[in-house]
Chain A
């Protein structure tokens, strides 16, 4: 059987109808990885035996009358989510050889639903990057053009799903790390609202921003996966105890009467004309289908990347202080002092982008600079949030490009960190505001590169965002 093009929903139907077993399905995924990953480099490690054992257990459970929407479905996992007994390197030399001692809550939820862990996907080191090039181990390729990046930081998950090496995957998004690689690779990616999905057991980058979410072939698949991931977790005090709606049921309804806001700050010169044309086409298709289009303004958009550079790196510098060579992670040999133990373990364990961000974060938090940078950034964050609150009084969802360009060439932006950061212009504001965002394919460039439409909704508005995404998927043939 061929897993390329197979959706999660179709796969579970195949299992229910006994067209194939989970062992057969899992074997097909493992075969696809073996066949294709030599070119794509989407995975860092694959536990074939463990996956087949889980698949056999899922088949036995199904034979005994059990059923869930994920029972026996192989799911690829970004390599910063702990799955007990598996490596969790965060694509860093710092964590080489580490074996996860427990399940992250999202992993435990997948396990309880009977999902199979298909393998660990590549990423930017500690999720710091937008191209997956900062991985210490390999450079993942874009399945649509092997000379181009898959986006990042969840580039391995996106490439695996789009390249036919996974049916569905988990990613994480701090400033766009699910949405942008989904757009670059032509798959669906959902960043849930802050507090919707537990982050317990997920290696922290910036704690006030990080969220785990689904990366899939269809919007319906994303809805199904989110259903299992979402909900309050006593292990993560930032999760909210609000009811989890039936996301799949929310997909019907189309866009008739839906108010779609176009933030004028996202439709400016500087965005690739082909990207803009695809986004416009999606907007027009929804208007034809009965949506109401309204222009709105998010006046503080231009400050978002600056705020993100400050808040994200500040939190990273605090979170990554735990890597000190003492209890786990890389330790230098023969340190001459305590300082030396820390400074050399960290120098040897971290790659350049991680070092840069820790240093910038330490700077913006340091005595004499805290108020000017971190303090001010938190206040500007309030203004960015307020922009969205006001916009959502006039519309139900916002449509924007995910990124100003399609996937760029490998190596093209490595020398200039600021250019790389500015590529996150359209995804970072929603992260700072804590709202949800979906990336859905909306066309291709003349060269065949996928373009993503970003659909933003209010906090805990996943249902309306998925509903709009489903409509775009149906109205626009990507």
Chain B
């Protein structure tokens, strides 16, 4: 903004990226650079130093940048240029970034030795909280948690005008950091089985596989039995009850780590989801097929276990292996996160997650949750549909004054947050009148009816 022609003294125009932001970006870049250098092997003698510097500088730098960027502007929806920026609009940088993350997942799953130097960098921290050396999954978990925490803070700053977004994002960060990172680590520190209390069957499919149940039940003490009990109760009792009262959002956008990453690190890419009717059709086939697949697989494993392999031989094991490879690794990991910059943030949640499918069926048929629309106030601007990471054409409902009841809605609340006319609201209400197929747009006494 050189040559600023504004003659008003009280209103000097602030530059887009100020000095403090630039310092933040420089620190962040140095941190990332150090991390890459450590990946080549430099610094393996001094893991603590390299670990603290690379993580500390990148996290600190990013936070400085975000705090300054968002706090210097008044609170409110700011999605400037998301469709003009190459990174967030499937431009060349978007594709490059997508290839980098996809590549990272391929290396992580199938060529972890490439990451050896970085894994060694994690040893001091791993020893501190888990009591043993790091492996590729500890490296992954640490980066994943850092991404949710740092980008979670960014999301809170960005959406600070919305208490719903603040509370929800805090919840995601809490469950990732505590339930999906620290507690499993500390369990290992005390020689207990690594267990994630925030993941349940069918998302964490092996938790109800006979092998896991047998393994846990053989653990000394009551903890193993408690873990089996916890998993069963959460899947079959708590999930239907909580979904009845709050919709699937209680899990998908408040607890789950996959949703957590999507709503924090993935937030800049949420608009990329496909809103077409065709995508919706594909979605319904795919996600329910995955649910059937895991139910069949789990049942076969139990039948096989019951007959001690006499009936099915190795078929059930083959099912489990295929599921683990196709769905567990390729779909949820490589495509689910790697394709953020191409297909949006909830590719896995929308097309693949069997837990989302299960929650979705509950949400659609037995839940108090719905998104309501406010009378005749919709102006069909399209911001809500654009913001929907699950690819729901929210506007199609809003402009008819119809409640939005969709199996896929994860209740992130972003449609309501971005709506410029205050039309949308996430509500839990009575079942009666929840589905209003023939809504009336208020305002016209003459014409009633019509979709």
Partners in one complex: no
- B residues sitting closer than 8 Å to A (CB atoms) are none
- A residues sitting closer than 8 Å to B (CB atoms) are none
